[in-house]
Protein backbone atom coordinates (compact mmCIF):
# COMPACT_ATOMS: atom_id res chain seq x y z
CA UNK A 1 0.00 0.00 0.00
CA UNK A 2 1.76 3.14 -1.22
CA UNK A 3 1.08 6.38 0.65
CA UNK A 4 2.12 10.02 0.83
CA UNK A 5 2.73 11.76 4.14
CA UNK A 6 1.63 15.43 4.13
CA UNK A 7 0.75 18.19 6.54
CA UNK A 8 -1.04 21.52 6.60
CA UNK A 9 0.34 23.75 9.37
CA UNK A 10 1.27 20.63 11.35
CA UNK A 11 -2.09 18.90 10.92
CA UNK A 12 -0.67 15.72 9.35
CA UNK A 13 -2.13 13.14 6.98
CA UNK A 14 -1.49 9.82 5.32
CA UNK A 15 -2.81 10.12 1.75
CA UNK A 16 -3.86 7.04 -0.23
CA UNK A 17 -4.59 7.00 -3.97
CA UNK A 18 -7.79 4.96 -4.49
CA UNK A 19 -8.77 6.42 -7.85
CA UNK A 20 -8.58 2.93 -9.35
CA UNK A 21 -11.70 1.96 -7.40
CA UNK A 22 -10.08 0.00 -4.58
CA UNK A 23 -12.09 0.09 -1.35
CA UNK A 24 -10.81 2.24 1.54
CA UNK A 25 -8.99 0.60 4.44
CA UNK A 26 -11.06 -0.73 7.31
CA UNK A 27 -11.46 1.34 10.46
CA UNK A 28 -8.96 -0.97 12.15
CA UNK A 29 -6.40 -0.47 9.37
CA UNK A 30 -6.89 3.32 9.45
CA UNK A 31 -6.17 3.30 13.18
CA UNK A 32 -3.06 1.16 12.65
CA UNK A 33 -1.73 3.47 9.95
CA UNK A 34 -2.40 6.51 12.14
CA UNK A 35 -0.59 5.08 15.17
CA UNK A 36 2.52 7.19 15.80
CA UNK A 37 4.47 4.36 17.42
CA UNK A 38 3.50 1.25 15.42
CA UNK A 39 2.26 2.78 12.16
CA UNK A 40 3.03 5.75 9.92
CA UNK A 41 1.47 8.33 12.24
CA UNK A 42 -1.10 10.99 11.39
CA UNK A 43 -4.09 12.94 12.64
CA UNK A 44 -6.23 11.80 9.71
CA UNK A 45 -6.04 9.47 6.74
CA UNK A 46 -7.22 10.85 3.37
CA UNK A 47 -8.37 8.61 0.52
CA UNK A 48 -8.38 10.17 -2.96
CA UNK A 49 -11.13 8.61 -5.08
CA UNK A 50 -12.91 9.09 -8.43
CA UNK A 51 -15.06 12.24 -8.65
CA UNK A 52 -18.64 12.01 -7.43
CA UNK A 53 -20.07 15.04 -9.23
CA UNK A 54 -19.86 16.41 -12.76
CA UNK A 55 -16.92 18.73 -13.32
CA UNK A 56 -14.96 17.61 -10.26
CA UNK A 57 -11.40 16.33 -10.72
CA UNK A 58 -11.54 13.92 -7.76
CA UNK A 59 -13.21 13.13 -4.46
CA UNK A 60 -11.73 12.45 -1.06
CA UNK A 61 -12.79 10.93 2.23
CA UNK A 62 -11.45 11.51 5.74
CA UNK A 63 -10.72 8.97 8.46
CA UNK A 64 -9.74 10.07 11.97
CA UNK A 65 -6.88 8.56 13.92
CA UNK A 66 -9.30 6.28 15.78
CA UNK A 67 -10.72 4.92 12.50
CA UNK A 68 -13.96 6.93 12.57
CA UNK A 69 -15.00 8.93 9.50
CA UNK A 70 -15.24 12.72 9.27
CA UNK A 71 -17.33 15.05 7.14
CA UNK A 72 -14.80 17.79 6.49
CA UNK A 73 -11.14 18.68 6.91
CA UNK A 74 -9.90 22.04 5.64
CA UNK A 75 -6.19 21.33 5.96
CA UNK A 76 -6.79 17.95 4.34
CA UNK A 77 -8.61 19.60 1.43
CA UNK A 78 -5.55 21.77 0.71
CA UNK A 79 -3.27 18.73 0.86
CA UNK A 80 -5.57 16.81 -1.49
CA UNK A 81 -5.50 19.77 -3.89
CA UNK A 82 -1.68 19.91 -3.81
CA UNK A 83 -1.47 16.13 -4.29
CA UNK A 84 -3.78 16.26 -7.32
CA UNK A 85 -1.78 19.07 -8.93
CA UNK A 86 1.50 17.19 -8.42
CA UNK A 87 -0.09 14.03 -9.86
CA UNK A 88 -1.21 15.93 -12.96
CA UNK A 89 -4.88 15.34 -12.18
CA UNK A 90 -5.65 19.03 -11.56
CA UNK A 91 -4.38 22.23 -13.20
CA UNK A 92 -1.46 24.04 -11.58
CA UNK A 93 -3.15 27.39 -12.28
CA UNK A 94 -6.76 28.44 -12.39
CA UNK A 95 -9.74 26.98 -10.58
CA UNK A 96 -10.81 23.37 -10.12
CA UNK A 97 -13.34 21.49 -8.00
CA UNK A 98 -12.96 18.59 -5.56
CA UNK A 99 -15.66 16.58 -3.76
CA UNK A 100 -15.52 16.09 0.02
CA UNK A 101 -17.96 14.06 2.13
CA UNK A 102 -19.83 17.31 2.81
CA UNK A 103 -20.05 18.69 -0.75
CA UNK A 104 -18.20 20.37 -3.62
CA UNK A 105 -15.30 22.75 -3.01
CA UNK A 106 -13.70 25.22 -5.39
CA UNK A 107 -9.91 25.46 -5.24
CA UNK A 108 -7.70 28.40 -6.27
CA UNK A 109 -4.03 29.39 -5.83
CA UNK A 110 -3.24 32.70 -4.11
CA UNK A 111 -0.39 35.06 -5.02
CA UNK A 112 1.93 33.23 -2.61
CA UNK A 113 1.21 29.87 -4.27
CA UNK A 114 -0.89 28.57 -1.39
CA UNK A 115 -4.13 26.75 -2.08
CA UNK A 116 -7.37 28.49 -1.17
CA UNK A 117 -10.42 26.32 -0.49
CA UNK A 118 -14.05 27.40 -0.65
CA UNK A 119 -15.37 25.91 2.59
CA UNK A 120 -18.97 26.88 1.89
CA UNK A 121 -21.48 28.80 4.00
CA UNK A 122 -21.41 28.32 7.80
CA UNK A 123 -24.60 26.72 9.08
CA UNK A 124 -25.77 28.02 12.45
CA UNK A 125 -29.14 26.25 12.79
CA UNK A 126 -28.95 23.78 15.72
CA UNK A 127 -30.41 20.99 13.59
CA UNK A 128 -27.62 21.43 11.03
CA UNK A 129 -24.75 21.22 13.55
CA UNK A 130 -26.36 19.02 15.09
CA UNK A 131 -26.97 20.48 18.56
CA UNK A 132 -29.81 19.08 20.67
CA UNK A 133 -31.84 21.02 23.20
CA UNK A 134 -32.16 24.25 21.21
CA UNK A 135 -34.74 25.09 18.55
CA UNK A 136 -33.22 28.34 17.25
CA UNK A 137 -29.67 29.66 16.78
CA UNK A 138 -28.25 31.37 19.87
CA UNK A 139 -24.94 32.96 20.72
CA UNK A 140 -23.85 31.96 23.16
CA UNK A 141 -25.46 28.63 23.91
CA UNK A 142 -25.42 27.85 27.62
CA UNK A 143 -24.74 24.12 27.92
CA UNK A 144 -24.95 22.41 31.34
CA UNK A 145 -21.60 20.91 32.25
CA UNK A 146 -20.79 19.38 35.61
CA UNK A 147 -22.22 21.54 38.38
CA UNK A 148 -22.37 24.64 36.19
CA UNK A 149 -22.65 25.56 32.54
CA UNK A 150 -20.37 26.61 29.71
CA UNK A 151 -21.02 29.35 27.14
CA UNK A 152 -20.19 28.31 23.60
CA UNK A 153 -20.69 29.34 20.02
CA UNK A 154 -21.62 26.51 17.66
CA UNK A 155 -21.66 26.08 13.88
CA UNK A 156 -21.34 23.44 11.18
CA UNK A 157 -18.63 23.76 8.55
CA UNK A 158 -19.55 20.34 7.16
CA UNK A 159 -18.69 18.97 10.61
CA UNK A 160 -19.79 20.18 14.07
CA UNK A 161 -17.79 22.81 15.95
CA UNK A 162 -18.12 24.40 19.38
CA UNK A 163 -16.07 27.45 20.33
CA UNK A 164 -15.17 29.04 23.65
CA UNK A 165 -13.65 32.51 23.67
CA UNK A 166 -10.97 32.89 26.37
CA UNK A 167 -8.67 35.67 27.57
CA UNK A 168 -5.58 33.50 28.14
CA UNK A 169 -5.35 30.65 25.66
CA UNK A 170 -2.20 29.08 27.11
CA UNK A 171 -3.83 28.63 30.52
CA UNK A 172 -7.12 27.14 29.26
CA UNK A 173 -8.09 23.54 30.04
CA UNK A 174 -8.93 22.63 26.45
CA UNK A 175 -8.73 18.86 26.85
CA UNK A 176 -10.89 18.74 29.97
CA UNK A 177 -13.71 20.84 28.55
CA UNK A 178 -13.46 19.30 25.08
CA UNK A 179 -13.78 15.70 26.28
CA UNK A 180 -16.81 16.64 28.39
CA UNK A 181 -18.50 18.40 25.46
CA UNK A 182 -17.68 15.57 23.05
CA UNK A 183 -19.51 13.16 25.38
CA UNK A 184 -22.39 15.56 26.06
CA UNK A 185 -25.88 14.54 24.88
CA UNK A 186 -26.26 18.00 23.33
CA UNK A 187 -23.84 16.83 20.60
CA UNK A 188 -25.19 13.50 19.30
CA UNK A 189 -22.41 13.23 16.70
CA UNK A 190 -19.74 14.54 19.10
CA UNK A 191 -18.04 17.85 18.29
CA UNK A 192 -14.74 19.52 17.49
CA UNK A 193 -13.98 21.96 20.31
CA UNK A 194 -11.98 25.14 19.84
CA UNK A 195 -10.73 27.83 22.20
CA UNK A 196 -9.97 31.25 20.72
CA UNK A 197 -8.22 34.36 21.97
CA UNK A 198 -8.96 37.46 19.88
CA UNK A 199 -5.84 39.62 19.47
CA UNK A 200 -7.25 42.12 16.93
CA UNK A 201 -10.13 42.33 14.45
CA UNK A 202 -7.87 40.66 11.88
CA UNK A 203 -5.96 38.23 14.13
CA UNK A 204 -6.82 35.48 16.61
CA UNK A 205 -5.11 32.56 18.32
CA UNK A 206 -6.78 29.16 18.29
CA UNK A 207 -6.40 25.67 19.72
CA UNK A 208 -8.67 22.82 18.62
CA UNK A 209 -9.42 19.42 20.16
CA UNK A 210 -10.79 17.27 17.35
CA UNK A 211 -13.22 14.40 17.77
CA UNK A 212 -11.55 11.07 17.07
CA UNK A 213 -8.06 12.61 17.24
CA UNK A 214 -7.44 14.91 20.23
CA UNK A 215 -5.66 18.27 20.14
CA UNK A 216 -4.04 18.91 16.77
CA UNK A 217 -1.43 21.44 15.68
CA UNK A 218 -3.97 22.97 13.30
CA UNK A 219 -7.60 22.49 12.24
CA UNK A 220 -8.75 24.15 9.02
CA UNK A 221 -12.49 23.70 9.50
CA UNK A 222 -11.99 24.76 13.14
CA UNK A 223 -10.31 27.98 11.99
CA UNK A 224 -13.24 28.68 9.65
CA UNK A 225 -15.72 27.91 12.43
CA UNK A 226 -13.95 30.23 14.88
CA UNK A 227 -13.86 33.10 12.40
CA UNK A 228 -17.52 32.54 11.43
CA UNK A 229 -18.68 32.61 15.07
CA UNK A 230 -16.52 35.57 16.07
CA UNK A 231 -17.44 37.50 12.92
CA UNK A 232 -21.11 37.02 13.76
CA UNK A 233 -20.38 38.49 17.21
CA UNK A 234 -18.55 41.45 15.72
CA UNK A 235 -15.28 40.40 17.32
CA UNK A 236 -13.41 39.98 14.00
CA UNK A 237 -13.91 41.32 10.49
CA UNK A 238 -14.01 38.27 8.25
CA UNK A 239 -14.70 40.15 5.03
CA UNK A 240 -11.27 41.79 5.41
CA UNK A 241 -9.55 38.48 6.17
CA UNK A 242 -8.46 37.06 9.54
CA UNK A 243 -5.11 35.49 10.40
CA UNK A 244 -5.63 32.44 12.60
CA UNK A 245 -2.50 31.50 14.56
CA UNK A 246 -2.50 27.84 15.55
CA UNK A 247 0.26 25.87 17.30
CA UNK A 248 1.49 24.53 13.94
CA UNK A 249 1.23 27.63 11.77
CA UNK A 250 -1.01 30.34 10.36
CA UNK A 251 -4.16 30.00 8.25
CA UNK A 252 -6.01 32.87 6.61
CA UNK A 253 -9.81 32.88 6.59
CA UNK A 254 -12.00 35.30 4.65
CA UNK A 255 -15.77 35.56 4.18
CA UNK A 256 -16.96 36.82 0.82
CA UNK A 257 -19.59 39.52 1.40
CA UNK A 258 -21.47 38.79 -1.81
CA UNK A 259 -22.37 35.13 -1.20
CA UNK A 260 -21.32 34.43 2.42
CA UNK A 261 -18.87 31.69 1.44
CA UNK A 262 -15.85 31.22 3.68
CA UNK A 263 -12.47 30.71 2.02
CA UNK A 264 -9.37 29.40 3.75
CA UNK A 265 -5.72 29.51 2.66
CA UNK A 266 -2.60 27.97 4.18
CA UNK A 267 0.34 25.63 3.56
CA UNK A 268 0.17 22.14 2.07
CA UNK A 269 3.48 20.33 2.51
CA UNK A 270 4.77 17.00 1.16
CA UNK A 271 6.82 15.19 3.82
CA UNK A 272 7.72 11.76 2.38
CA UNK A 273 6.50 8.79 0.33
CA UNK A 274 6.35 5.24 1.59
CA UNK A 275 4.83 1.77 1.36
CA UNK A 276 2.92 -0.02 4.12
CA UNK A 277 3.23 -3.79 4.20
Of 30, 42, 79, 219, the catalytic one is 219
Other C-beta atoms closer than 10 Å to the C-beta of 217 total: 18
The DSSP call for residue 218 is -
Q: How far is CA 140 from CA 57, 67, 171, in A?
A: 39, 32, 22
C-alpha 194/C-alpha 164 separation (Å) is: 6
The answer on whether 197 is annotated among ligand-binding residues is no
Q: How far is CA 108 from CA 92, 118, 202, 276, in A?
A: 9, 9, 22, 32
C-alpha 171/C-alpha 14 separation (Å) is: 32
The answer on whether 211 is annotated among ligand-binding residues is yes
Other C-beta atoms closer than 10 Å to the C-beta of 66 total: 13
The answer on whether 210 is annotated among ligand-binding residues is yes
Phi-psi region of 50 (alpha: psi -120 to 50; beta: other; left: phi over 0): beta
The answer on whether 220 is annotated among ligand-binding residues is yes
The answer on whether 135 is annotated among ligand-binding residues is no
Three-state secondary-structure class, residue 215: strand
The answer on whether 32 is annotated among ligand-binding residues is no
The answer on whether 245 is annotated among ligand-binding residues is no
Of 42, 73, 79, 224, the catalytic one is 73
The answer on whether 44 is annotated among ligand-binding residues is yes
Distance of CA 146 to the CA centre of its chain: 28
Torsion over CA: 195, 200, 201, 202 (sign) = negative
Is 219 considered catalytic here?
yes
* Burial label, 34 (beta-carbon count in 10 A; 0-12, 13-18, 19+): buried
* Burial label, 177 (beta-carbon count in 10 A; 0-12, 13-18, 19+): buried
The answer on whether 26 is annotated among ligand-binding residues is no
Q: Which amino acids are annotated as binding site for substrate, given as ranges?
A: 11, 44, 64, 74-75, 159, 192, 210-211, 220-221
Active site residues: 73, 219
Q: Which amino acids are annotated as binding site, given as ranges?
A: 11, 44, 64, 74-75, 159, 192, 210-211, 220-221
Amino acid sequence: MHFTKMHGAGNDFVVLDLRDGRPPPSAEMCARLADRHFGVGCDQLLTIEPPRTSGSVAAYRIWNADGSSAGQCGNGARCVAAWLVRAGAAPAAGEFVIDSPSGRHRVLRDDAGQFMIDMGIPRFAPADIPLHGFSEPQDPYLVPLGEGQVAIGAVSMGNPHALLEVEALDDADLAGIAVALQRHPAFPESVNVGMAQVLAPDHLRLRVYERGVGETLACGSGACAAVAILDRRGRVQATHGVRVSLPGGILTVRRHADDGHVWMAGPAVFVFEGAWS
